[in-house]
Amino acid sequence: MRVAILSSEAVPFAKTGGLADVAGALPKALSENGEDAMLLLPLFEQIDRKYLREEIIDNLDVDWRGRSYRARVFYSDATGAPSFLIDAPEYFARNSIYGFRDDHERFAFFCRAALALFKRLGAPPDIVHLNDWPGGFAAAEIRSRRNFDSYYARTRTLFSIHNLAYQGAFNASDLWILGFGDDVRDAFMMDGTASALKAGLMTSDALSTVSRRYAFEIQTPEFGHGLEWILRARRDRLVGITNGVDYDVWNPATDPHLPAHYDINNMDGKRECKRALLREFWLPEDLDRPIIANISRLTAQKGYDLIKEAGGAILETGAFFVALGSGASEYEDFLQAMRDHAPRQVGIYKGFNEPLAHRIEAGADIFLMPSLFEPCGLNQMYSTRYGTVPVVRATGGLDDTVQDFDRVSQTGNGFKFEHYTALAMLDKIYEALYCYAEPDLWRTIQLNGMRVDNSWRAAAQKYIELYRRVAQM
């Protein structure tokens, strides 16, 4: 089957969050399973040109806003699968991936250019796999072109929801400027404005999301962001496939970012990583004291309101607290205040730093992820592989991938609380710290986590089965 995956970010090209990890790893896993998979991405300014192998098209003519826009296309195999990067400097030569007033126009252009590229490459894809709101434009366009363009007659679309909180809203009067007519207008419309996400949910042939539990949650008002009615109506077209982990990138035995390596048979290297991490943050080298860590976009989604509320109590446990993240100033300021208050106990890095994320996963003891909602979550899975025990809230993919440790049966790979309250979170942190104080018990929990196989192989197989079903729709 010919599968084309469109994404607004992908490792190693450009990343703000977990979508990039998924879009980087899935095409490779599909290729390894024998599928003909390719990735399409905008050529953002920040993408390191060393990843580009060659310019394959210098005259991709895209029908755009009443004229023809000439884009270029570069080829890369840096993910391990064929990737095509669309170069349109007017839209993508900027200093970040999102955050511009014309984001809807930028990604609508990307989708239209992707469609033009399909025709240039030859046979139509069987499956066009779209991800989050930037892909909504392509779903709508393929749906509408099928009525008059036989090229798309057999092409089916799968729309994957990584996060319903980002909806790609824009002024409805722009719809016609972007070339969307009456046939798909309703699909975009939501409370008087246009939503690219809603169009994707309405016009794609099938829907998926990135964990089983989130697939259920988003059918309820609590998690549906106003779109739950669509997801309920289309629930026979919606499946949850939990993300995998790319163990070529996240493996403590080989990770090039780590000062020392380790695996399940010899954990000495983890202690070295902890020592180096304490040094890096100018913290005392007290190796027996636990490090509680967090790496995330600083948004309400990630449970930072709980961490804020419990900050004092976390410090009272005596544990170190290390955080890497950027985002809302409210949370950045809180982290700064925590660090100023306890500079020998708290280490923070405000910003995006991929190598540091690896060093924290390796050097920490406990990874705190108290998310308000979490479609899948990757850091809890990276943590278990790195022998770092996750403390998570039982929501979305966190619930699917973390099992609460049980002292009697000695099963479980982490700690999990239900209620979104600081008290419930603190209870689990205390429980984790009590276990940490018993080294043999702690080792058991670490090994339970390190043994879990979350590799992409199984998840890619599920996507392949899904693609086959969708191709028949």
Beta carbon nearer to ligand GLC, 317 or 455: 455
Q: Is 378 in the site for ligand ADP (CB under 6 A)?
A: yes
CB of 119 vs ligand ADP, minimal distance in Å: 32
Residue 322 or 376 having the CB closest to ligand ADP = 376
The sign of the torsion formed by the CA atoms of 368, 7, 246, 404 equals positive
> 3-state DSSP call for residue 209?
strand
Does residue 129 bind ligand GLC (CB under 6 A)?
no
196-203 helix and 103-121 helix, angle to the nearest 10 degrees: 40
**Distance separating alpha carbons of residues 215 and 246, to the nearest angstrom:** 23
Using CB under 6 A as the binding rule, whether residue 354 contacts ligand ADP is answered as yes
Residue 297 interacting partner from ligand ADP, ligand GLC, none (CB closer than 5 to 8 Å by kind): ligand ADP
Give dist(CA 38, CA 77) in Å, integer.
10
Interaction between residue 378 and ligand GLC (CB under 6 A): yes
Is 163 an interacting residue with respect to ligand GLC (CB under 6 A)?
Answer: yes
> Which one of ligand ADP, ligand GLC, none interacts with residue 325, CB within 5 to 8 A by kind?
ligand ADP
Helices (H), 322-410: 329-341, 354-363, 379-385, 396-401
Task: Dump the DSSP string for 127-152.
Answer: EEEEETGGGHHHHHHHHHHTTT-GGG
From the list ligand ADP, ligand GLC, none, pick the one residue 210 interacts with, judged by a Cβ distance below 5 to 8 Å according to partner type.
ligand GLC
Q: Find the binding residues for ligand GLC in span 18-77 (CB under 6 A).
A: 18-19, 22
179: left (phi over 0), alpha (psi -120 to 50) or beta: left
- How near is the Cβ of 225 to ligand GLC at its closest, in Å? 12
Helix (H) or strand (E) holding 156: strand 156-161
Query: Which residues between 284 and 303 bind ligand ADP (CB under 6 A)?
Result: 295-297
Residue 347 as a binder of ligand ADP (CB under 6 A): the answer is: no
- Residue keyed to tokens 């010919």: 2
Contact between 324 and ligand ADP per CB under 6 A: yes
Candidate ranges 17-25, 86-94, 179-187, 188-196; the one touching ligand ADP (CB under 6 A): 17-25
C-alpha 439 chain-centroid distance: 33
Q: Which is nearer to ligand ADP, 125 or 252 (CB)?
A: 252
Q: Are 75 and 25 in contact (CB under 8 A)?
A: no
On the CB side of 50, CA atoms within 13 Å amount to 2
Among the listed residues 228, 352, 441, 452, the single contact to ligand ADP using CB under 6 A: 352
Positions touching ligand GLC (CB under 6 A) are 17-19, 22, 162-163, 210, 243, 374-378, 397
- Contacting positions for ligand ADP (CB under 6 A): 17-19, 21, 295-297, 324-326, 352-354, 357, 376-379
